Copies of this chain bind each other. A is one copy, B any other.
Amino acid sequence: MPSAPPPHMPAPLPPFDLDLLRSFVTIVDSGGFTRAAERLGRTQSTISLQIKRLEDGLGKRLFLREGRGLDLTPDGEILLTYARRLLGMAGEACALLMEPEVGGVVRLGTPEDFATAHLPDVLWRFSRAHPQVALEVQCDFTVNLLDRFARGEYDLVLCKREPQGPAGGVRVWREPLFWVASDRLILDAGAPVPLVLAPAPDIHRKRAIDALDAHGRPWRMAYTSPSLAGIKAAVTAGLGVTILPKDMLAPGFHIVNAEHGLPDLPDIETALYRQPGPLPKAVDLLAEHIVRSLERTADRTAAG
C-alpha cells in the first residue's frame, strides 16, 4: 500500500442528488418547469416537487417565482454553476468507464527527485486503473529531458523550470526552496559556502550558484553527486549545504537560510509538457491523471 488515503471524515451533509440537479439545470436551460418536464420525460408535477426537494434540503429558495417569469435567486445562481460542473464531471466519468480498456505505451521523462517524492503513488494508481498501459518512466536531468523530449523520445515530460519558465506546459507543482544542512556542518560566515549539488546541467545547481553570485557570497563545490541519495548522504555527513524543497528534508536536516545569511531562493516549479500532435489516448489519460492528482496534493500543501 503506497499510501492510504486520508480517512474520509463523516461527510457532513450533501443533500445533492444528481437527478435533482439535472432537473434544475434543465429548467434553467429550457426556461420553464413544463418544458423541462417534457425534455426529461417526466411530469411537470414531478419537476416541481424535485425543485421543492432541492430547496427544502438546502433551506434556500432557488427560483424567484414572479408571476410568469422565472428567475434564479443568488443562491440558485451559485448552485447552477456547481450543478453544471458536477453533471459534466459525472458524464465524463461515465464516458471514461464505458470506453473500452485503453492500452498502449506512454513514455514519461521526469527528474529523479520529483519522481521519488511525488510520483510513486500517482503512477501506482494510474497503472491500476489502466493495467493495459505500459509505462516507461525515465529519470534524467532537466536539460536532457527537454533535449530528448524535443527529439520525440518522450510523450510526456515533467520539468523543473523557473517560475517564469518556458510556456506551453501545465504547472503541476510549485514550492519554495531552502538551504539545508545537517547539525554536523560548521559554517563560517566569512569562508566560502561549501556546496553539495548535482553535477553541471542541474537546475538546483544553477539556482544555488546564481543566488550566491548575485549576493557576492563566495562558495566552493564540496561534493557532487547525480543522485538525490548521494546528495543527502553528503549533507548528512556535514560536507556542506544543498538546496531542497521543504518536504524532501531527510532526518537531521535543518533549514539554514536566515541563520547563515544565505540568499532566499525563488520558488521551483514543475510543469508537465505533452508532445504536440495526435498521440495514443493513454498519453492524455496519464497527463490528465498526473495533473489532477498533483493539484489536489499541492492545494493541501500550499494552502494559504
Q: Which residues of A contact B (CB under 8 A)?
A: 4-8, 10-18, 22, 25-26, 28-30, 39, 58, 60, 72, 74-75, 77-79, 81-83, 85-87, 89-94, 96-97, 101, 125, 128-131, 162-168, 269, 289, 292-293
Contact = CB atoms under 8 A, between A and B. Distances in A.
Given A78-B96, A94-B13, A129-B77, A7 B30 contact: yes
Given A18-B17, A77-B125, A25 B8 contact: yes
9 contacts: A5-B28, A7-B30, A12-B91, A12-B94, A14-B91, A58-B94, A74-B101, A77-B125, A78-B96
- Among A14, A75, A89, the most chain B Cβ lie within 10 Å of the Cβ of A14
A77 B14 contact: no
B74 A128 contact: yes
Q: For chain A, what secondary structure do more than half of its interface residues adopt (helix, strand, loop), or is it mixed?
A: helix
Nearest to A13: B94
A79 B91 contact: no
A269 B128 CA distance: 37
- Among A13, A89, A167, the most chain B Cβ lie within 10 Å of the Cβ of A167
Nearest to A293: B81
B29 A94 contact: no
B14 A87 contact: yes
Which 6 A-B pairs rank lowest in CB-CB distance, beginning with the nearest?
A: A163-B167, A82-B93, A77-B129, A14-B90, A164-B167, A8-B29
Contact of A125 (B7, B60, B81, B131): B81
A98 to B, nearest CB: 8
A293 B6 CA distance: 30
B292 A60 contact: no
A74 B100 CA distance: 12
Given A7-B30, A82-B92, 15 more contacts: A4-B29, A8-B25, A12-B91, A14-B22, A14-B90, A16-B90, A58-B94, A74-B128, A78-B93, A82-B90, A85-B89, A86-B86, A86-B89, A164-B166, A167-B269
Contacts of A131: 74
A122 B11 CA distance: 31
A171 to B, nearest CB: 9
